[in-house]
Structure 1
Amino acid sequence: MIQGIGYALYEERALDPATGLVLSTGLEDYRIPGMADVPEIDLHWDEAGFEHVAGGGVGLGEVVALPVAAAIANAVHDATGRRQYALPIRPDRVIEPGGAR
């Protein structure tokens, strides 16, 4: 969940417009969320288990990041009426004409 908040609000891959080279090449290039940046999170586990999955294994990591970003984008739209199409969602992008693309 916290990774999804970071993806939606902080992470950005910056490119050099002249060369196309990636300028943000590591974690030191953007802020990641800390404890003060995230709300209290209520977790719910699927008590039924995953025996129905071939091999019995299920990943629980990065798969949750994308729905969190979409939920935040929808919350921003509900609050402002402005649809965001680019990440990270930042205040300057929310107020720019036409919304971020």
Structure 2
Amino acid sequence: MLDNPTGRLDADNELQPDACLRLEDWAGGQSRISEDDYLEGAPALIVAVAASRVSYNLHDKMQVYRRNRVQEYLVWRVLDNAFDWFVLDEGTYVQLSIAASKAQKLINSANSP
């Protein structure tokens, strides 16, 4: 468990995800915990809950995560009542429509009276 959710992806980019999954080296992970308790390198999965600045989450942040080889990126767009799930495939994010549509059903059922 990280005490500090801030991570360093590279020399120019830090992250503060709403949630992330870090794998150990032996499990294929690309990140480590630094001596000053920061996550360094790309976690396997990043989750963002976006109420605003959606274009930032789906464009700028996504490109940084892609360049740093974050394997999966999930964005819950609260105001749009939508869920986007991306998986890195040969250096490009591919949106998982089936997983996203199942997540969308969960979001819709949680928001219904």
Q: TM over 0.5, yes or no?
A: no
More strand by share: 2
- Coarse TM-score class (shorter-chain normalised): under 0.3
What is the TM-score when the length of structure 2 is the normalising length? 0.25
Q: Which has the larger radius of gyration?
A: 1
Q: Bigger relative contact order, structure 1 or 2, given CA contacts below 8 A and separation 6+? A: 1
More helix by share: 1
